[in-house]
Amino acid sequence: MDCPLKEKHRLEPREHITDAVKDCIADVGKRLDDYNDLIAELVSIDSGEDFPDGILAVEQKLAEQMPGAETRIAWKKTGDAISHFKATIPGGQDRIVLLGHADTVFKKGTVAERPFSIKGDCAFGPGVVDMKGGLVLALAAVKWLKKNNISCPTIEFVVVGDEETRTSPPPFIEDLTTAATCFVLECGRPGGGFVVSRKGGVWAKVSAVGFSSHAGTEPERGKNAILALCREIQRIDALDRLSDDLTLVVGMISGGTAVNVVPERAEARIDIRSANKNALEGMVRCISEFEAHEGVSMGIDTDLSWPSMARGDNEKLIAIYRGIARNTGIKVFPVSTGGMSDGNWFSHAGVPTIDGLGPIGGLDHGPDEYMEISSWAMRAGLLAGTIAALANN
């Protein structure tokens, strides 16, 4: 099925779209304190993979805020008890996807250690921009569109609970591959960047199996899996940047059972990124060329193969977004990144996708994660205007 975007929508925004963006920015700006309060409420809920109840609590608060009595909410729960929801907000014949996630990378208890705070123009806290601020921004844009009766496509607002750790396509995607577009609410980049392409990735596990023995009485009988693995890690690490866009990071290592036992088993987890699928597959083959280790066998498994998000199929959507920003006097620019998001899956499924449409921020996944408050209403207005620009002609 041909994507409706390719046939129906103009590249340049109409004048009333520009006016709508400005009106939305002004209106959302007046309510910024209320939206900051909602962001603070969501950030104050631990929602890492180790706390499914927290993920559900974040999603329920968002679902309760969806506009209009006609909005339909669908829930899913995956086998690990993680919840997800989709809010269908009726509009025109075409469908667009607003895509985000309620989970963070932070363990339960992080909120108590680093509660939500505001210093100057920046808000801080675990998940403030990755991506609770983006979820509330999308909510604000949708509520403004509905309140002002702005014509827009049917909106499928999807919030998943396992984006940071999942090894498969996101929930609900099977029902949304014919959508006209997908907008992902990951954070915008400093200075106004939004994401037009992302690398794909492979998560690999390298395992070493040796032979255990008593470390004090018979150490010579043992075959040390940790030592063999460490030798291999040195070789593997040297493969980083084997091609221009390829990165390789050994992110985890574990092994052994006790300090007084020659370790029988050890394993390392490796993150590999590239926009080129052949490069990813070639790197797995290179890693698999293990050296000989007496009494220790080596093996590799790939836990995840994540598709890239290519720019080529998204040029018309990029042009619409940039045109609206230009006509409104807002600086935006396209960027490419090595990070992955669920936008990769939608792009891979043939849905034109742009990402990084949330508030500007950065240092996510770390203790200094921040969101620029002054960017918030502006980015909400751009999102609302782009949605309105995709209404049926």
Preceding omega of 131 cis (within 30 degrees of 0): yes
pLDDT at 251 over 80: yes
pLDDT(289) > 50: yes
Q: Report d(CA 364, CA 374) in Å as an integer.
A: 18
pLDDT score of 112 more than 80: yes
Question: Residue 16: its pLDDT value, please?
Answer: 82
pLDDT > 80? residue 5: no
Asked whether the predicted pLDDT for residue 320 surpasses 90, the reply is yes
* CATH number assigned to the domain covering 200-306: 3.30.70.360
**Chain centroid, CA 229 distance in Å:** 31
Ranges in the chain annotated CATH 3.30.70.360: 200-306
* 153, β-bridge pairs: 92
pLDDT band at 142 (very low <50, low <70, confident <90, very high): very high
Confidence of residue 381 (pLDDT cuts 50, 70, 90): very high
Predicted confidence at residue 346, as pLDDT, reads 96
**CATH number assigned to the domain covering 5-198+308-389:** 3.40.630.10
Q: How many CB atoms lie under 10 A from the CB of residue 142? A: 25
The CATH 3.40.630.10 portion of the chain extends over: 5-198+308-389
What pLDDT sits at residue 12? 42
Residue 9 has pLDDT above 70, yes or no: no
* pTM, full prediction: 0.88
Around Cβ 286, how many Cβ atoms within 10 Å?
Answer: 13
Instruction: Tell me what the pLDDT averaged over the chain comes to.
Output: 93
Q: Residue 213: pLDDT band by 50, 70, 90 thresholds? A: very high
Q: What local confidence, expressed as pLDDT, does residue 305 receive?
A: 82
